[in-house]
Amino acid sequence: MSANSLQVAVIGTGAIGSLHATNLALHTKGARVSAVMDIDRERADAVAQACGARAVTDAADLIADPAVDAILIASPDASHAELCLAAIAAGKPVLCEKPLATSLADAERIVNAELAAGERLVRVGFMRQVDPAHSDLQALLASGQLGAPLRFRGTHFNPRRGDTIIRIEGAIVNSLIHDMHSLRWLMSAEVQNALVQWLPDRADMPRSARFALAHLTLDNGGLATLEWSGDSGYGYEVGVEIVGELGTAQTHSHSSPTIRRGGGLSQAVSPDWQDRFAEAYRIETQDWVDSIRQGAPTGPSAWDGYMSLVIADACLRSADSGLPELTRAIDRPAFYA
Ligand code: ISE
């Protein structure tokens, strides 16, 4: 690794890739964006110019480049697994956007590759873990003030994205995957059983999803529900409520003030996830860079990425069968204890 700063290559320059590249270039100490990659040359050039980096169109060359210390994967979901495996093969730390993979089998390959490498290299971009609203709730749970957690309720409401139709598979693997990780992390439990129900977005497309509900049972005897919307009608909102044996708590809402005015009470809602989680994304890249400079990545691991896909896999099977489905996971390797 270069003496001064970590040389990071960012793969993918869409919404999340350019956000990470900008955060690394402007808001992260100890790192530099040395290159950005996108198959769309113009888009890569624009982000590279803004970050003082070079633009390339080939990911394999970039991962192998000895001048690159660490890789940030923010390309389309279906490309994550192969890129992550290439980074592990090159022995380079990687921050891989969620989902870690789009199939459980591929996520297992990544876990096995990291085990074979014998060192922690992967962090998965479950940035809610460093979002202050979520980490405050986690600290409250860890303090014991709520007692043992019994019930998790996650709400994840997205505004409609133009004329995009989201399929139930996309709602589960691209979006609800965040809530699947949050519940494992906050409840300190694994999911045993999953039932998914949803309302189609279009009557002629039964797999399209407008609103989805996942009912989950946990191995600590707890219960969870995850509520998802692809058309909130008012903005972007993510919340968690936990019922514990001694009390109940919710994530605090937006940083915007509540206003009483003209006989009414109001509060602004974020328009999108980039706005709502802007601070979390900055904390995440700084934390990632610091941990690598101190030895190895911390935060959500390849195992967490795999286990979130274990839940997604049961949810996908339930979406097909219409019935509750048991999760199927390999045993947790001691490496991830
Ligand atoms: C998006 O990819 C994200 O990661 C956002 O956090 C999530 O809320 C959104 O639903 C996803 O599409």
pLDDT tens string 10-23:
999 999 999 999 99
By most ligand atoms within 8 Å of CB, the mutation choice from 155, 167, 273, 275 for ligand 1 is 273
Answer yes or no: is the C-beta of 301 below 6 A from any ligand 1 atom. no
Give 336 Cα–ligand 1 centroid separation in angstroms: 26
* pLDDT given for residue 296 in this prediction: 92
pLDDT digits (tens, 9 = 90+) for 159-192: 999 999 999 999 999 999 999 999 999 999 999 9
Residue whose token pair is 């059983």: 193
* pLDDT given for residue 86 in this prediction: 98
The backbone torsions φ and ψ at residue 205, rounded to the nearest 5 degrees and listed phi first, read -130, 90
Residue (of 64, 6, 7, 58) closest to 37 by Cα position: 58
Report the C-alpha gap between 92 and 68 in whole angstroms.
Answer: 9
Both tokens of residue 169?
């598979």
Q: Is the pTM of this model over 0.85?
A: yes
pLDDT digits (tens, 9 = 90+) for 82-111: 999 999 999 999 999 999 999 999 999 999
Measured at the CA of 49, the angle between CA 293 and CA 58, to 5 degrees, comes to: 70
Both tokens of residue 301?
């691991």
Nearest protein CA to atom 5 of ligand 1, as residue = 273
Report the C-alpha gap between 205 and 184 in whole angstroms.
Answer: 32
* pLDDT given for residue 3 in this prediction: 56
